[in-house]
Amino acid sequence: MFKLSRVVICAIAVLAVGGATVALAASSPFTPKLGTPQGTAVAPGAIALHVKAADAKQVYVAIRPKKVLSHGKLKSCTNATHGCDYVEMKKWKGHTGWWIYRAADNTFTGWWTTTPGGYYWQALSFAGSPCVINATTLCEFWSKIGHFSVK
């Protein structure tokens, strides 16, 4: 009976520590937060995406017309003719902690900036040192999934 209670106590401790780790990652200064266009309809053309990720070393955005998930994240898709994209953002000059991506005003069929419809987007930021796993992989932080519409 004594051994069983030790096992139960250890299991509870492991779960508590794991939960604390998830909570820390969710509140990290590296976790990106979606800015505009969030929940709005935008005119087709050269659309700008804004993400707040103050301490990130690099930020990327995934865009999809359908909310297809893989492990709680938007599933990777880079076929622009299907309305998908995966883009690298740049630091937004004059806006501390903000990143921006200005999409090209392409007009081919399916291109997300000119094809009317709803789009899901999610930002991924990478932290630099000291947030390193196995001394080689930079830590990844994902935003919540957002939505916007092209008119």
Ranges of each domain in the chain: 1-28, 31-150
Considering the segment(s) 31-150 as one domain, its CATH architecture is Sandwich (2.60)
**So what's the pLDDT on residue 137?**
59
In the numeric block, the tokens 């250890």 are attached to: 10
3-state secondary structure of 82: helix
User: DSSP assignment of 65-130, as one string?
Assistant: SS--EETTEEPP---GGGT-EEEE-EE-TTSTTEEEEE-----STT-TTTS-EEEEEEEEEE--TT
Cis ω before 130 (30° cut-off from 0): yes
**So what's the pLDDT on residue 104?**
85
Tell me which residues of the chain have a pLDDT lower than 70.
Answer: 1-29, 128-138
**So what's the pLDDT on residue 11?**
39
**So what's the pLDDT on residue 29?**
67
Residue type for position 63: I
**So what's the pLDDT on residue 52?**
97
**So what's the pLDDT on residue 93?**
97
Task: Write down the pTM of the prediction.
Answer: 0.77
**So what's the pLDDT on residue 1?**
42
